[in-house]
Amino acid sequence: MRPATVRTLEEQNMADGVLYFEDVAEGDEAPVLTHTLTRTDLVAYAGASGDFNPMHHDEVKATAAGQPSVFGHGMFSMGLLGTAITDYVGVGNVTRFTVRFARQTWPDEELHSVIVVTGTRTEDATHLIDLDVRLVNAAGEEKVVGEATAKVPARG
């Protein structure tokens, strides 16, 4: 759900690159990560993940199986969204990340992250922020939809 007003990154005090709990408010949006998918991305992900399902790198086999072309690994989409999340909350701070795979991704599609703060809470002196996370294409079609929680530092 998109809030009526969106605070700029300057208003969120992210100038020094660290997201502090006090500076996060419900409705805040994370910086958008944009990436246009290439076949090379899929080959690189296959090698780095060990997932050599030919539907993701072998155009001949993919088209023989009735697909218009190779298509992206769902876990590449989740990984790309993970990159957008850690860019925002800080590397090593994610405590939960869950998604549903809604649609396949295709080479040449422009993918972008949509990350919105849905809540902030403090449990046992741990400061947590809850996020609604999505990866969508340029037409706004949802590829991956989910939630994440991160533990972030307080200014103290």
Partner 1 sequence: MADDILSTIIGTPTASTVVTVERGQLALFAGAVKDDAPEYRDPRAAADAGLPGIPAPPTYPFVMGNFGAYPELQPADAPTGNPMGAVLGPLMAKGGIILHGEQEFLYHRPVFAGDVLEGKGLVVDAYQKESKGKTMTFVVVETAWTDTTTGEPVCTSRMNIIHRV
Which parts of this chain interact with partner 1 (CB under 8 A)? 33, 35, 41, 44-45, 47-51, 74-76, 78-80, 82-83, 85-87, 90-92, 94-101, 153
Instruction: Indicate the residue among 101 and 106 with the shorter CB distance to partner 1.
Output: 101
Residue 40 CA, chain-centre distance (Å), reads 20
What's the closest the beta carbon of residue 88 comes to partner 1, in angstroms? 12
As measured in angstroms, the least distance from the Cβ of 39 to partner 1 is 13
**What's the min distance (Å) between Cβ of 82 and partner 1?**
4
- CB distance 9 to 31 below 8 Å: yes
| Least Cβ distance, residue 49 to partner 1 (angstroms) | 4
Cα–Cα nearest to 78, from 149, 29, 146, 2: 146
Token pair, residue 34, equals: 């944009």
Give 146's contacts (C-beta < 8 A, 6+ positions apart).
81, 97, 98, 99, 100, 133, 134
Nearer to partner 1, 83 or 122 (CB): 83
State how far the Cα of 35 lies from the Cα of 144, in Å rounded to an integer. Answer: 14
| Residue (49 or 63) nearer to partner 1, CB | 49
